[in-house]
Amino acid sequence: MYRSLVVLVACCLLSTQSILAQTKDETAIAKRMETLRNALLKPDKATLADIAADNLTYGHSTGLIEDKAAFIEDLVSGKTVFTAVDFSAQTIKIDGDIAIVRNHMVGATNNNNVPAKIDIIVLLIWQKQKGEWKLLARQAAKLPVAAP
């Protein structure tokens, strides 16, 4: 009886571990997301250019849509300044050469010396291009206002 219980517990633990384990591509996307987060805080033109696909479409929660050049320029020039960025509740789903990432982004900006808080939800689409994951599309949305 004891032996059967030990085998059952071991099987449950092994199956749970495999469910929680990320695939190689999911791990790569999680690393790219962390690289993106760091690049938002400390913009580096080469890093941003490496992350972004040439035909990037980058949508802000305000409705502004940027291409790759505008996305990079806004950060590198200091037009957009992030002082804090945190991604939570992040999910990653891989479908062939496409990765779909959703998260909750909380942070702070200091654009034109005007501090502001960020609390948005974000959808990011990454595409594997020549063996590298590139940010193809991003769309942010404001969180719905709770009813009183």
Handedness of CA 79, 123, 51, 54 (dihedral sign): negative
Half-sphere exposure of 87 (CA within 13 A, CB side): 21
pLDDT at 143: 87
- The span from the CA of 13 to the CA of 75, in Å, is 45
Q: Which domains does the chain have, with CATH numbers?
A: 23-142 (3.10.450.50)
More confidently predicted of 19 and 94: 94
Confidence of residue 113 (pLDDT cuts 50, 70, 90): confident
Mean pLDDT of the chain: 89
pLDDT at 7 over 90: no
Q: Are strands 114-129 and 65-66 parallel, antiparallel or unpaired?
A: unpaired
pTM above 0.75, yes or no: yes
The strand ranges marked E within 11-78 are 52-59, 65-66
